[in-house]
Structure 1
Amino acid sequence: MAQIKLPEIFQNGMIIQRNKTIKIWGEAEGTDKLRITFCGDSISADIKEGKFYCELAAKEAAYGQKLEIFAGEKEEPDVVLKDVCIGDVYIAAGQSNMEYFLRYDAHWNEIKQWEQNDMIRMFNCKRIAFNGQNRDLPECGSWFKEQEYQWESFSAPGYCFARSIQPVIGVPVGIIGCNWGGTPACAWMEASYLNDPPLSVFIKEYEDAAGAVDEDEMRRLSLEAWEYEDSYLHQVAWRAMMYGMNQQDQERWMDETANAPVLPMGPYHHYRPSGLYEMMLKKLAPFSVKGVLWYQGESDAGHGEIYDKTFASLIRCWRDLWQDELPFLYVQLAPFGKWLGIGGEDYPVVRESQERVLKNVPGTGMISIMDLGMYEDIHPKRKKEVGERLALLARGLIYGEDILCESPEFTGGEREGNQIRLHFSHTGSKLHVNGNVINSLYVEQGGNLIGVKDFQLDQGLLLNFETLTEEPVEIRFAKEGYCEVNLFNEADLPVRPFSAVVI
């Protein structure tokens, strides 16, 4: 009897990418040939060394299809995948702010009451750190719909993106969650992309850390730490943390967990360079997708000055893996003060690097959420807005709608006596401010802060001062680790951070 094994992404209820070649692969024993049928097409696949790969012609959007695989000349299929849809598929990738479960979102009670949309399907990749790791992950490894038990443990930004974009494009939307909290970008990249400076710093740091622990001790400590990580008591405690705690409760939580096992950096750690590329991402490719939604960078704050190179290399790595110039829509890091003893003081550097990626890497788009941050939590709770802004960006950049979908970007400024006029792109008809003052706007002249007398808003910003000398004026906006931006365009998208010298 033939035995056919498909990658986990191929299951009942799946969504296949429309208008792109359909790639099917897997393993087979007990036969030398397979026949695959889908949407009226039939194709043969030869078995070589127990593996097969084939391609079906691209299809338009469709619902309720069936994919069948026959071994040899058999008339009855050995594999039948039912309720298969064809639409647009996105990968929701990154670290904890993309992984962030729906049940933690500020809008969860509202979301649970929405009328069900069966044209949205979700899939969580199993979070496995090393070969042979055995984890109980019931929410991972299968396609599901709204209201099913996996739903509350799915990416809130990814789901809210799908919920916002699906009614607009009118075809099924699939979201593949491929994310893991705390992970640096280098964990999601193939090793060769990290060989050369400055990215080789990640390999060096890993080797220095891993080399400091004996191999047997490394395994013992790692397995002990993973047992604690997956324990029921830790999961309950961590769930409380993700719902949100103030500083006092966080300090108490850290005291109570101070003696918990610590996972040493090494071959069992999910943060290690290339680890999750090998264990998670490669298992998806070359499953055709429309694009990537990316929310990550917090764990790269220590090397924020090179994050533009890191992220640009990651984008190239993923596009090479898929052999497809996939669009990347990503989230600029939110404002953040302190959480579990770490701070957001290095975030402005990461945000600047993220701006450079937007300018230098084609096929990318960035949303700003400088109005959604939380001082006492690295995880902003309003992920619904994050998903909606990503969907708005996709409508403009991917689907070609003529809409205002990007945050205002500073483009220049000039002096007019005791006034300074600042210009922005992506404003719509007029900028507006929530309140009576513009938060996080600082103006310096001669090394001293000077106050703004008043301001006027149109498609730009006119600042009025009591008096200005002839010295250059330095302007900074939203350049702190934490701030609360309240200056928006016509689409209620916040103005992006900037700094400038006006002569």
Structure 2
Amino acid sequence: MKRIGSWYGNLLGICMMMTTIAVTAAAAPEQLVLAPLFSDQMVLQREQPLPIWGQAAPGSVVTLHLLDAQGAAITSASGEAIADDSGHWQITLPALPAAGPLQMEVATARQQITVKDVWLGDVWLASGQSNMEWPLSAQTENWQQAVKDAAYPKIRFLKVPNRVAATPQRQLPATPLAPSGATHWLAASAETVPDFSAIGWYFAKQNHLEKGVAVGVIDATWGGTVAQAWTPAAALWMLPAYQQAATAVIAQSQELAQALAQQIINKTPNQQPHWLPGVLFNAMIKPLVPYGLKGVLWYQGESNVDQAVHYHALFSTLIQSWRDEWQQPLPFLYVQLASYLQPKAQPAASAWAELREAQFQTLQLPATAMVVTTDLGDANDIHPARKKPVAERLWLAARRTVFGEAIIASGPVFSSLQIEGKQLRVRFEHVGTGLYSKDGTLRGFAIAGSDGKYHNATAKLEGNTVLLWSDKVAKPVSVRFGWADFTDANLYNSAHLPAVPFRAGEAK
């Protein structure tokens, strides 16, 4: 905690040396403008109320109509609002079934905007750091073959530009702020798909093929970022580990805003502006609220490994704060960290294992699902090339958690531990029709006696249990599985999903 406070303090100290600037209200708009989220080729969430918003001259009456492919107005798909004193307006259409292509007409007495090629389908927010951001063409496994099968124009992506903000923003930028993309929707093609998030692409394709609807993915990602930057600073105030930093950001928001605008913050390691509490939420997530979503796809945690002890509370707070913003229990489907760094022959302490444990604990929240990827990692690369299996497992999680299908979507999960003399017996749930070791001798287990010293264990499958022993542990009391930065654990269930790493039997 001392280290956390110190680097935030240094970063914000730069802002405090600046002269406080007066804040002037932005001039109200004179023209009708849609929020940049609403552009040609967009996908709106089916079967949910549809908030549409933008700006207009204060007091203007704004009307909105959805039209079918023949240009006829869709019954009940219309609305009206009056722009408030700041020019903001919002119209919420009733829930509508999957459909398209449609047009959306928005008008005032003096101006009309027509948005074309609009579809009603499923919309997902993909967020986190680089492994979710990682584009298909960045040497992911079999990416060139994937591009050859990219002619699915009903799959659309919108890339949120990377930026930070000291306070919550109402709108995304109307023009691109980074070479990675502009704020508008793109339909899938051989030309566009290489730049899409690889996980997002494979997931969207499964959704489209299996549910037969248009699919939109909003990509709000930034490599090398921490979870606290994606969490509202006001929510972080409730967490002791982040309270001081969050309070400073809130109290000094004017100074911070000017420092960010002038890019004068010292960009030394661990003092990046995009690591500050709430700044990515403010700039990249808040402007998306309340766009209709089917759920959230999340892959992050690598940059929080050195603070794994705080991650369960932090990640839980992030999820709940986003749900509060959208005022609905958004499903959160997330990826547990893959194996990384050089494997060790003997059991050892592991910050990566502790972070994975914190991710597993977050399943205590409703409407969450986690996919295990320890078997998909790369000892030499924090960005594993195998992105398609990650997306396929996320899709299984979506089918069960979001669509309510009665399928196996999780690997084996620890259920109970029993001491049997010199042996331990571990029971699992989510086994399907049975357990198996994927490639030979069962690996990944370690046991310890009351001294807490772990040794690799011999493991034997017996039905839906695993029997463990070691000549070096006369009286075993605790067990760890897959507890390493890089693990070769190979226990699977009948759905061919890997077991969740765990530890059990240790003194609290």
The 1:199/1:23 distance shift into structure 2, 3 A limit, reads farther
Q: Which residue of 1 aligns with 2:317?
A: 313
Task: Indicate conservation of the 8 Å contact 1:95/1:296, yes or no.
Answer: yes
Aligned with 2:463 (options 452, 458, 470):
458
Please tell me whether residue 197 in structure 1 is matched to residue 235 in structure 2.
Answer: no
Structure 1 letter corresponding to 2:184: S
Q: Which residue of 2 aligns with 1:278?
A: 282
| TM-aligned CA deviation for residue 284 of structure 1 | 0.7
CA distance in 1, matches of 2:41, 2:126: 18
CA distance in 2, matches of 1:386, 1:182: 19
Q: Summarize the alignment of residues 354-503 of structure 1 with structure 2, pairs less than 5 Å apart.
A: 354-359=359-364, 361-416=365-420, 419-445=423-449, 447=451, 452=457, 455-463=460-468, 469=474, 471-501=475-505
CA distance in 2, matches of 1:157, 1:377: 17
Aligned with 1:66 (options 82, 100, 103):
103
Task: Indicate conservation of the 8 Å contact 2:158/2:186, yes or no.
Answer: yes
SS at 2:240's partner residue?
coil
Please tell me whether residue 125 in structure 1 is matched to residue 160 in structure 2.
Answer: yes
| TM-aligned CA deviation for residue 281 of structure 1 | 0.8
Query: Unmatched 5+ residue regions in structure 2?
Result: 1-28, 68-73, 167-172, 343-348
Query: Unmatched 5+ residue regions in structure 1?
Result: 226-260, 339-343
Structure 2 letter corresponding to 1:65: L
The 1:437/1:373 distance shift into structure 2, 3 A limit, reads same
Please tell me whether residue 52 in structure 1 is matched to residue 80 in structure 2.
Answer: no
CA distance in 2, matches of 1:493, 1:375: 20
Q: Summarize the alignment of residues 131-210 of structure 1 with structure 2, pairs less than 5 Å apart.
A: 135-137=177-179, 139-147=181-189, 149-201=191-243, 203=245
Identity of aligned residues (%): 32
The runs of at least 4 consecutive aligned structure 1 residues that moved more than 6 Å come to: 131-134, 204-207, 213-221, 464-468
Task: Indicate conservation of the 8 Å contact 2:150/2:193, yes or no.
Answer: no
CA distance in 2, matches of 1:441, 1:112: 40
SS at 2:47's partner residue?
coil
CA distance in 1, matches of 2:325, 2:355: 26
| TM-aligned CA deviation for residue 464 of structure 1 | 6.4
Aligned with 1:26 (options 43, 54, 57):
54
Task: Indicate conservation of the 8 Å contact 2:411/2:497, yes or no.
Answer: yes
Please tell me whether residue 79 in structure 1 is matched to residue 113 in structure 2.
Answer: yes
| TM-aligned CA deviation for residue 334 of structure 1 | 1.1
Task: Indicate conservation of the 8 Å contact 2:424/2:476, yes or no.
Answer: no
The 1:468/1:276 distance shift into structure 2, 3 A limit, reads closer
CA distance in 2, matches of 1:134, 1:146: 19
The 1:317/1:216 distance shift into structure 2, 3 A limit, reads closer
Structure 2 letter corresponding to 1:265: Q
CA distance in 2, matches of 1:163, 1:216: 42
Deviation by residue 1:92-140 (Cα, 9 ceiling, x = unmatched): 0111111111112112122112252222111111112248998343523
Aligned with 2:352 (options 332, 347, 362):
347
| TM-aligned CA deviation for residue 199 of structure 1 | 4.1
Task: Indicate conservation of the 8 Å contact 2:165/2:257, yes or no.
Answer: no
CA distance in 2, matches of 1:28, 1:204: 34
Task: Indicate conservation of the 8 Å contact 1:123/1:176, yes or no.
Answer: yes
Q: Which residue of 2 aligns with 1:93?
A: 127
The 1:217/1:23 distance shift into structure 2, 3 A limit, reads closer
Q: Which residue of 1 aligns with 2:78?
A: 42
Task: Indicate conservation of the 8 Å contact 1:337/1:345, yes or no.
Answer: no
The 1:328/1:489 distance shift into structure 2, 3 A limit, reads same
Task: Indicate conservation of the 8 Å contact 1:120/1:172, yes or no.
Answer: yes
Please tell me whether residue 332 in structure 1 is matched to residue 360 in structure 2.
Answer: no
For this pair of structures, how many residues does the alignment match?
452
RMSD of aligned Cα (Å): 3.2
Q: TM-score w.r.t. structure 1 length?
A: 0.82
CA distance in 2, matches of 1:215, 1:14: 31
Structure 1 letter corresponding to 2:82: D
Deviation by residue 1:232-260 (Cα, 9 ceiling, x = unmatched): xxxxxxxxxxxxxxxxxxxxxxxxxxxxx
| TM-aligned CA deviation for residue 350 of structure 1 | 1.1
SS at 1:336's partner residue?
coil
SS at 1:484's partner residue?
coil
SS at 1:3's partner residue?
coil
The 1:220/1:83 distance shift into structure 2, 3 A limit, reads closer
Structure 1 letter corresponding to 2:162: R
Task: Indicate conservation of the 8 Å contact 1:32/1:47, yes or no.
Answer: yes
CA distance in 1, matches of 2:244, 2:306: 11
SS at 2:229's partner residue?
helix
Structure 2 letter corresponding to 1:32: S
Structure 2 letter corresponding to 1:83: D
The 1:283/1:215 distance shift into structure 2, 3 A limit, reads closer
Task: Indicate conservation of the 8 Å contact 2:237/2:246, yes or no.
Answer: no
